[in-house]
Amino acid sequence: MSIICRNAGISLARMCVLGEKQQKLKQYQIVLQSTASNDKIENAENKSAQNPFDLEWQQALPYKSMPRLTRYQMFRGFVKGGEFVDLSVNDFLLKCRERFGDIYRMAGVIGQPDSVVLFNVDDFAKVCRTEGIWPTRPGTDAVRYYRESRKDGFFKETMGLNENGEKWGTFRHLVNPVLMQPKNAKLYLEPLQNVNLEFIERIRDIRDPQTLEVPENFLDDINHLAFDSVAVVALDHEFGLIRKNPDSQEAKILCENMSAFLESIFDLGIKPSFYKYIKTPTYRRFEKSMDLMFDVTNRYVNAALDRLEKNPAKEGEERSVLEKLLKINRQTAIVMAMDMLMAGVDGPSSAFATILLCIAKNPEKQLKLRQELCAVLPHKDDHFTIENMKQLPYLRACIKEALRIYPIGFGSARETGADLVLSGYQVPKGTPAFISSNMLPNEERFFPRAREFIPERWLRKQDAATSDGKRLIADNLNKFINLPFGFGPRSCVGKRIVDMEMELTLGNLVRQFHIEYNYPTDKPFKYHLISTPAIPLKFKFVDLK
């Protein structure tokens, strides 16, 4: 507007000199009127464009009118004899979905805030896209409470990945370059490969010489694989629990206590608990596990620090992830190692059991995977490298498809980063939200033939349709469905390590063995917070010629 006035003023001065003042003044008035009229129209358009949310919010139903579990129902349901007491988190959320629909509230009890549970994919996108640069993740209060309560004050500066707000952002900024950058994969490829080779020999040691089946407690061996894999990265130490040192009591006890963290999220973060007022039996078990993990982690990180001081790396040499973390500072290395151990056993272990079951029950897919592997690594003694692993799309598709059919967990948890309208209801900023993104991929509306193991649906050059004319993936599939490692800034920081661990293990086993599972697979997994095999894992491993 000021520019128009200024230009118009200059024009008037010139017109005075030319003796045309009156004529141009009239034109100037027309310009002003036209500009004012255009400004009104533009302002009205901007107001309309800027306030669609205001209108949506005004038309939405109040938060308090959302279907919900009352405080009494929450408390009564989880005590002895209650309707929820024996349910896993997945079954609990699904039971409430049947009662209330795709969105409902859970009343907070014993000092916990109210929360919402979401099954609508459009709501997933709204929450994830407005979470901000420091997303808040509810559900890990027990870990924060433990770390805040330690008398030594070790976690005063940071509580690691279980922190929230700016402190979380600072910690994540420090560790992301070490754990998330693809170029650092070379630091853990060889150690993970060595653990894998030990696992293959372990299978040969324990399988029945006649039936070639492993014992029904094979899950213990898978747990040891997951533990040795994360420990060799997080602590730069080979415990050898798989085969070299299977009787290590310290390693066994530490491995068995890893699940305490994941159990605490459900038992102390969702279920009613008085642990902040009195030390409940559940919290005491959790605290004992955390103390053990801290002591062992602290000792091994200090040992690694002593080794580095006595034998420092040469200029430009990078030897381990832990070494890189120690270059940041000692406390960051210890806290990150602890966080990796807490999340690095049960989840990857369950994921691999899932993948192995899908491969064993689908021999034609297993053959196709073997053909891809043999084309890239033609000899049995060929090792995986960063370069040849990029040439295995079907391997990655098999893993992704297995985790779609049997998701490890229900999804993720966030606090809403803004006032949002979700499924027609007003949801205030800061409301804890359980995003059930991983519980929908078994529905036909998203994945036709959803219960079938079809890795081809994840390939770029997949067939456009199945034999009955249906697409393998629904058109315009919402990308917030099927997120096994989460989304955005708070996605799993160890994703690249776990990806490599699963790819190496599956790739090595399929190259060495034909894998079978000759038992019923009805309801093969049960859930606490994450899935756990509910059937004996008596896989048959037949050596390939």
Domain segments of the chain as ranges: 1-41, 160-543
Residue 392's pLDDT is: 96
How far apart CA 379 and CA 77 sit, in angstroms, is 57
Distance from C-alpha of 185 to C-alpha of 61, rounded to nearest angstrom: 49
- Which DSSP string corresponds to 353-394? HHHHHHHHT-HHHHHHHHHHHHHHS-STTPPP-HHHHTT-HH
> Among 101, 170, 102, which residue's Cα sits nearest to residue 134?
170
> Nearest-5° angle of CA 298, CA 300, CA 302?
70
Q: How many CB atoms lie within 10 A of CB 499?
A: 16
Enter the tokens of residue 402.
């297995």
**Chain length of the chain:** 545
Q: What is the pLDDT of residue 454?
A: 95
| Residue listed under structure tokens 């433990």 | 146
Domain 160-543 has CATH 1.10.630.10: yes
Closest CA to 389 of 231, 179, 188: 188
pTM for this structure? 0.85
> Residue 471 has which token pair?
């697409």
User: 3-state DSSP: the chain helix, strand, coil percent, rounded to 5?
Assistant: 55, 10, 35
Say how many Å lie between the first and final Cα of the chain, rounded. Answer: 83
Residue bearing tokens 């002593």: 306
Digit-by-digit pLDDT tens for the chain (545 residues) are 433 333 434 333 333 333 443 444 344 344 334 444 444 434 434 444 456 678 899 999 999 999 999 999 998 999 889 999 888 888 899 999 999 999 999 998 887 889 999 999 999 999 999 988 889 888 788 899 999 999 999 998 889 988 888 999 999 999 998 888 888 888 889 999 999 999 999 999 999 999 999 999 999 999 999 999 999 998 888 899 998 888 788 888 888 777 777 777 788 888 888 888 999 998 998 999 899 889 988 888 888 888 877 887 777 677 788 888 888 888 999 999 989 988 888 889 999 999 999 999 999 999 999 999 999 999 888 889 999 999 999 999 999 999 999 998 888 899 999 999 999 999 999 999 999 988 899 899 889 999 999 999 999 765 445 555 567 887 778 888 888 888 888 888 888 899 999 999 999 999 999 999 999 998 899 887 788 899 999 999 999 98
pLDDT value for 51: 63
| Residue pointed to by tokens 């924060």 | 144
